[in-house]
Amino acid sequence: MNEENLKRIVAHNLSRYRKARNLTQIQLAEQLNYSDKSISKWERAEGLPDLVVLTTIAELFGISLNDLVTERKRLAKPKHRISRLLRAMIMFTSVWFLATVAFVLMGIFFSEVERAYLAFIVAIPVSFAVLAILSLFWGRKLHTFITVSICGWTIPLALLLVIQYEKLWLLFLIVIPLQIIAILIYFLKTRKPLG
């Protein structure tokens, strides 16, 4: 196999798998930390990504490296049976299920039924913490930034509502510089490389 033939095969497979995953060239480029121009160049068979990038693309699509560099009549099925979105929804829903169980149990066994709603208040930062961990694990920078930010602001809010101590509002002052740091880290990590 010559280089031009390999470029053509990779271009075809890259485009097919990207479209099968409903990703734009820009979205794929962000996940790879490359420019969309590089993705476009690869899909036009004007260049080849290096082996590390090809391996990363294969992992991202849930396929083998061989699926990207060989001709196939049909798309290879992803290795992961449950999609990432479905996993995130299951984890998120599990937190809210546990909050509902806590709400019901507090309503049954405790005399302060009117404070049972606090189970749902605590579930807010916990559910966003779960989503932040999943986003971080999956390398989704924007999702990680958003979920960490929401989690950072809802933790002091939950503490303020649960404990009901008036000076706990000062916790929000701690979150402000942390939010600024998170914004700076996000923009530093999402700068597009040249090329």
Rg of the chain, C-alpha, whole Å? 23
Q: Is residue 70 very low, low, confident or very high in pLDDT (cuts 50, 70, 90)?
A: confident
Tell me the pLDDT tens digit for each residue of 3-39.
888 889 999 989 998 888 888 888 888 888 888 898 9
- Which residues contact residue 118 at a Cβ distance below 8 angstroms, ignoring those fewer than 6 apart? 161, 162
Mean pLDDT of the 86-108 span: 89
CATH second-level architecture of 3-69?
Answer: Orthogonal Bundle (1.10)
C-alpha distance across the termini of the chain, in Å: 27
Mean of the per-residue pLDDT values of the chain = 84
In the chain, what are the domain boundaries? 3-69, 84-189
Among 78-87, 130-139, 157-166, the range scoring the smallest mean pLDDT is 78-87
41 is written with which tokens?
């160049």
Enter the pTM of the model.
0.52
What length is written for the chain?
195
Can you tell me the distance from the alpha carbon of 154 to that of 166, in angstroms, rounded to the nearest whole number? 16
What is the model's pLDDT at position 80? 53
Phi and psi, residue 18, nearest 5°: -65, -45
